[in-house]
Amino acid sequence: MTASTPVPLIADLRSDTVTTPTPEMREAMAQAQVGDDVYGEDPTVNALQAEVARLTGHEAGLFMPSGSMTNQAAIAVHTRRGEEVICAEGSHIYEWELGMMAAFSGVVPRFVPAPLGVPAPEDVRRAVLRSPHQSPSGMISLENTHNKAGGTVIPLDVLAAIRAVADAEGLPLHLDGARVFNAATALNVPLHDITRHFGTVSVCLSKGLGAPVGSVLVGSRAHMKEAHRYRKMLGGGMRQAGILAAAALVALRDVPARLREDHRRTRQLAEALVNAGFDVDLAAVQTNIIYAALPDAQARVDAWAARGVRASALGHDRVRFVLHHQVSDEALEGAIAVLTA
């Protein structure tokens, strides 16, 4: 035996970031009008920013290379050094953004308990600090859907109640909406019913929406002007980024209507896993993400990969499956056969 033959891929369920641009996206990229976006002169980037602002009901938008950058630029806009960011436990802005809130903005997180990713408004209120002996609260940040909790959705009445806390305390409210389109789909409401509660929102185009690169931060024109400076500091001034924005505009047009299918397939996979004896909390399966608790996670993931199904091992005893628009019903059936064998 020499080099092993590559295994034909049945389904890549590691993340919804693994999608590749559709032929329509490629075509739009090839045709895109571009200019220097650091000067604000890329017409396609400007069109994308206006479209995300319109969909979210905000004044303005700013295109950046990643969701970590849109989140961290928002934190820099809203806080001063030495302050705290109140956020749900397990929030991406802390867990998966490499200490950047401390490294860049000089702020620290204060976690609020969040069963199924949903913090209680009263706990958020109690987390607000005003004493001269403690770091003052600088902002509140929510995550919807909540990645680490399982792609879970915050109910609209909870959002409204947390917005009321933020208003009463005079604190800015940010949304890490990497998957806010999934949240809107699950709640069956227009996007702005969620996003209108927030001062700034980070929207990822490269997750379930399937664009190759990028996120948009939305908020007031004044906030976007400040965020523009932080984007440049963070190395996110991308010049002729219209080729990326063009793909994102196609993603916004074509993919949101398909998220419902992703959620249906996720449910189907979750139920098949439970029937096969996997430890999956079905109450946490609300959108396109499934976590299963199982020992030797990496070994199991490696064995599935050898049979053409890719998943993520998170820690020693947890695996994650994420659905996206490039997993068909047929691929899902193939994946279920491998995973439940």
Ligand X SMILES: *Cc1c(COP(=O)(O)O)cnc(C)c1O
Which stretches of the chain bind ligand X, using CB under 6 A?
Answer: 66-68, 71, 92, 143, 147, 176, 178, 204, 207, 215
CA-CA-CA-CA dihedral for 26, 27, 32, 38, to nearest 10 = 0
Longest Cα–Cα distance of the chain, Å, equals 70
> Exposure of 267 by Cβ count < 10 A (0-12 exposed, 13-18 middle, 19+ buried)?
middle
Please, which residue, 56 or 215, has the CB nearer to ligand X? 215
To ligand X, the closest distance from the beta carbon of 146 in angstroms equals 7
How far apart (Å, rounded) are the C-alpha atoms in residues 104 and 101? 6
Please, which residue, 128 or 152, has the CB nearer to ligand X? 152
Please, which residue, 103 or 222, has the CB nearer to ligand X? 103
In the chain, the N- to C-terminal Cα span, in Å, equals 27
Please, which residue, 207 or 228, has the CB nearer to ligand X? 207
DSSP SS3 for 8: coil
Please, which residue, 128 or 319, has the CB nearer to ligand X? 319
* Residues paired with 219 in a beta bridge: 60
To ligand X, the closest distance from the beta carbon of 134 in angstroms equals 27
To ligand X, the closest distance from the beta carbon of 202 in angstroms equals 7
Please, which residue, 66 or 336, has the CB nearer to ligand X? 66
DSSP 65: S
How far apart (Å, rounded) are the C-alpha atoms in residues 227 and 234? 10
To ligand X, the closest distance from the beta carbon of 175 in angstroms equals 10
To ligand X, the closest distance from the beta carbon of 131 in angstroms equals 31
Token pair belonging to 66: 């990643």
To ligand X, the closest distance from the beta carbon of 176 in angstroms equals 5
How far apart (Å, rounded) are the C-alpha atoms in residues 297 and 316? 5
How far apart (Å, rounded) are the C-alpha atoms in residues 218 and 177? 11
Residue nearest to ligand X (CB): 67
